[in-house]
């Protein structure tokens, strides 16, 4: 699936929750729990993306010319949100990650879950993913 | 739940005066427990603000027309109300600022930079809000003074023995919070002020949380400076107070330059106005200051004794019911506490807890509450915090506890 198709899939899923805040949080927490276990040795300052109230650890590796992301968070809701980004971005080519617009957060009303200030943390995470893609892209082309 | 004095206060009548409370959030009736961050405003305060802009709006002090006269009179009337509210000797000892943070910065700048030098000491405590830490750090960097910190006990009390030990002949300023915004601890300010004065230091009291909960008497406390904000005591945002003893304020240099604060200006030499105007450069926040005066009338109309009794009852009820929750850990268990409960629940991050409560229409605060060193002291990332005001009820606390129990049963790992 392309980045766009994955985003549309997420928008459809959240559409079924009909804007119910607690159901949406519950769903996010479930998604977070399904995330692959994050490697302990990568839980360090180099991999941290700091938000206002939660920490996120993010790593990326190249796998057959696509980027595999791994992530974790110390809060369950943020972990769920991160899992959505991983679902969209992981397994994609670096060029696609760099060029595609991420539009699903606003379409699922994500600001309600994370607040305006923490949206900045989420933007920082998308930026960090793109930075990884950029670095790995130059590795492919080198 | 026996003899709650809440029966003495007609809470329903009080609640009717706060329009913001009567709304649904996420499909549930709002329960507002974030009062330590900001309290809600009653109709009388909102109307005072609206009336000012509808009827009296004019710049103060220099105008000779009717509107300027009315706005000046109302602004200065607020100063008198504040002076009486805190039992200051005279209204001139009341300076209007943006709020507690600016008040502390004013003292750190206008007093600290003039009177502190390298080797002098500023003594604060481990439970201070960032606004009572950072201005002193900046001052210390600028002057070469040292910042000393009184440790906090496990129950959230100040270690008074350590405090006395940290006072020295080089201590110039002691700046301590009256009521901790995170722990709720009510500090023994009178005792602290006496000890500070015996050491030859001046004392500033951060009374941001105290103003809505406790009768403040600056003469009885014998504090040199005291700071608080309108928006934590049912008033508008954007204004607050610095109280200072006349002799000290007169010795201090101006904080900012501009209109209002001068006597004569020429390019060769400017002379400054008298206090309090010396510290109120530029057009002040006139409308909010006037509405602040109305907020003081609102608080005094209820009375601090009644307020305290009601909030103590809410706190006691919350303490007794919250402890039944599996994994509940309170942070701050002093015997001397205001109606603030910081807590964690094992297995649920405070951020997740706050979001899940918000989904049920319950507003609490989560995070470090601008007291990161205190979080480090307790080796925690943050807490959830419920803080109560006059319009909160026993039944709201029951709904809160029920919601917490349900959240714990569903989401706790």
List chain B residues with CB under 8 Å of A74. Answer: 349, 381
* B394-411 helix and B350-358 helix, angle to the nearest 10 degrees: 120
The highest-level CATH class for domain B46-301 is alpha beta
pLDDT in tens, B212-258: 999 999 999 999 999 999 999 999 999 999 999 999 999 999 998 88
Label residue A140 by pLDDT band (50, 70, 90): confident
> Given a cut of 50, is residue B298 above it in pLDDT?
yes
Q: What is the mean pLDDT of residues A6-25?
A: 90
Distances (CA, A) of B237 to A141, B228, B324: 56, 12, 37
| Least confident piece of the model among B48-52, B378-382, B390-394 | B378-382
> Given a cut of 90, is residue B347 above it in pLDDT?
yes
Tokens of residue A80, six digits: 């769920």
Element (H, E) at B148: strand B146-150
* A21-33 helix and A3-15 helix, angle to the nearest 10 degrees: 130
Show Cβ contacts of residue A77 under 8 Å, excluding neighbours closer than 6 positions.
A25, A28, A29, A32, A54, A113, A114, B351, B352, B355
| CA–CA gap between residue A89 and residue B140 (Å, rounded) | 48
| CA–CA gap between residue B45 and residue B288 (Å, rounded) | 9
Determine which of A76, A81, A117, A118 to mutate to test the interface with B (most B C-beta atoms within 10 Å).
A76
| Residue A112: per-residue pLDDT | 72
Q: Are B64 and B58 in contact (CB under 8 A)?
A: no
> Given a cut of 80, is residue B8 above it in pLDDT?
no
Total Cβ atoms within 10 A of residue B296: 21
| Residue A53: per-residue pLDDT | 66
Determine which of B352, B403, B412 to mutate to test the interface with A (most A C-beta atoms within 10 Å).
B352
Nearest by Cα to B212 from B85, B341, B74, B30: B85
| Residue B7: per-residue pLDDT | 47
Percent of chain B with pLDDT over 90: 91
Question: In this structure, what are the phi and psi dihedrals at residue B313, rounded to the nearest 5 degrees?
Answer: -65, -40
Q: What is the mean pLDDT of residues A70-86?
A: 92
Distance from CA of B255 to the nearest CA of A (A): 31
Compare B195 and B6 and report the one with higher pLDDT: B195
Q: What is the mean pLDDT of residues B83-110?
A: 98
**Domain count of the fold of chain A:** 1
Tokens of residue B223, six digits: 């504090």
Label residue B2 by pLDDT band (50, 70, 90): very low
Structural domain spans, chain B: 5-42+303-411, 46-301
| Residue B4: per-residue pLDDT | 46
Tokens of residue B18, six digits: 């706060």
> Given a cut of 90, is residue A20 above it in pLDDT?
no
Q: Are B387 and B182 in contact (CB under 8 A)?
A: no
Checking ipTM against 0.90, whether it exceeds it is no
A18: domain CATH number is: 3.90.1010.10
Question: Does residue B223 carry a catalytic annotation?
Answer: no
pLDDT in tens, B166-179: 999 999 999 999 99
| CA–CA gap between residue B287 and residue B71 (Å, rounded) | 8
> Given a cut of 80, is residue A142 above it in pLDDT?
no
| Residue B5: per-residue pLDDT | 44
Of the residues B162, B370, B372, B380, only one is catalytic, namely B370
pLDDT in tens, B268-283: 888 888 999 999 999 9
Label residue B84 by pLDDT band (50, 70, 90): very high
> Given a cut of 70, is residue A28 above it in pLDDT?
yes
Record: contact B411-A76, CB cut-off 8 A? yes
Residues spanned by the domain of A72: 3-141
| Residue B164: per-residue pLDDT | 98
Q: How many CA atoms lie within 13 A of A99 on its CB side?
A: 7
Tokens of residue B302, six digits: 């209820």
Task: Name beta bridge partners: A60.
Answer: A69
> Given a cut of 60, is residue B99 above it in pLDDT?
yes
| Residue B261: per-residue pLDDT | 85
> Given a cut of 90, is residue A123 above it in pLDDT?
no
Task: Name beta bridge partners: B158.
Answer: B152
Architecture of domain B5-42+303-411: Alpha-Beta Complex (3.90)
């Amino acid at each position: 699936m392309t980045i766009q198709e994955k985003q549309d899939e997420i928008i459809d899923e959240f559409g079924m929750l009909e804007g119910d805040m607690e159901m949406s949080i519950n769903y996010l927490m479930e998604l977070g729990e399904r995330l692959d276990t994050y490697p302990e040795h990568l839980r360090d300052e180099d991999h941290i993306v700091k938000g206002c109230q939660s920490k996120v650890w993010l790593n990326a590796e190249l796998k057959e010319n696509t980027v595999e992301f791994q992530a974790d968070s110390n809060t369950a809701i943020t972990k769920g949100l991160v899992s959505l980004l991983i679902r969209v971005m992981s397994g994609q080519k670096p060029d696609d990650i760099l060029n595609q617009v991420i539009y699903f957060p606003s379409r699922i009303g994500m600001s309600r879950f994370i607040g305006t200030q923490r949206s900045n943390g989420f933007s920082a995470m998308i930026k960090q993913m793109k930075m990884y893609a950029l670095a790995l892209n130059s590795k492919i082309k080198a | 739940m026996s003899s709650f004095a809440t029966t003495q206060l007609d809470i329903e009548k009080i609640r009717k005066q706060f329009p913001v409370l009567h709304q649904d959030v996420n499909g549930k009736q709002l329960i507002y427990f974030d009062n330590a961050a900001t309290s809600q405003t009653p109709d009388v305060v909102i109307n005072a603000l609206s009336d000012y802009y509808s009827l009296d709006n004019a710049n103060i002090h220099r105008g000779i027309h009717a509107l300027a006269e009315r706005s000046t009179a109302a602004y200065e009337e607020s100063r008198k109300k504040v002076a009486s509210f805190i039992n200051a000797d005279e209204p001139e000892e009341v300076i209007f600022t943006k709020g507690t943070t600016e008040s502390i910065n004013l003292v750190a700048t206008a007093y600290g930079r003039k009177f502190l030098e390298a080797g002098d000491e500023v003594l604060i405590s481990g439970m201070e809000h960032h606004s009572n830490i950072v201005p002193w750090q900046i001052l210390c960097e600028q002057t070469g003074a040292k910042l000393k910190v009184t440790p906090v006990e496990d129950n959230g009390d100040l270690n008074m023995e350590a405090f006395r030990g940290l006072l020295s002949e080089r201590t110039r300023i002691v700046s301590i919070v009256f009521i901790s915004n995170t722990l709720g601890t009510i500090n023994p300010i009178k005792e602290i002020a006496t000890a500070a004065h015996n050491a030859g230091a001046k004392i500033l009291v951060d009374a941001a949380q105290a103003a809505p909960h406790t009768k403040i008497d600056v003469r009885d406390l014998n504090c040199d400076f005291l700071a608080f904000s309108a928006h934590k005591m049912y008033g508008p945002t954007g204004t607050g107070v610095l109280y200072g003893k006349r002799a000290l304020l007169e010795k201090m240099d101006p904080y900012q330059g501009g209109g209002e604060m001068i006597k004569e200006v020429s390019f060769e030499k400017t002379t400054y106005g008298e206090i309090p105007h010396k510290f109120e450069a530029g057009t002040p926040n006139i409308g909010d200051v006037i509405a602040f005066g109305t907020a003081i009338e609102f608080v005094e109309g209820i009375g601090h004794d009644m307020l305290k009794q009601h909030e103590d009852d809410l706190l006691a009820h919350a303490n007794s019911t919250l402890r039944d929750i599996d994994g509940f850990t309170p942070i701050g268990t002093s015997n001397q506490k205001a109606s603030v409960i910081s807590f964690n629940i094992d297995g649920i991050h405070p951020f997740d807890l706050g979001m899940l409560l918000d989904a049920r229409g319950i507003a609490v605060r989560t995070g470090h509450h601008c007291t990161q060193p205190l979080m480090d002291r307790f080796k925690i990332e943050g807490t959830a915090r419920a803080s109560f005001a006059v319009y909160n009820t026993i039944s709201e606390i029951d709904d809160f506890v029920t919601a917490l129990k349900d959240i714990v049963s569903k989401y706790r790992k």
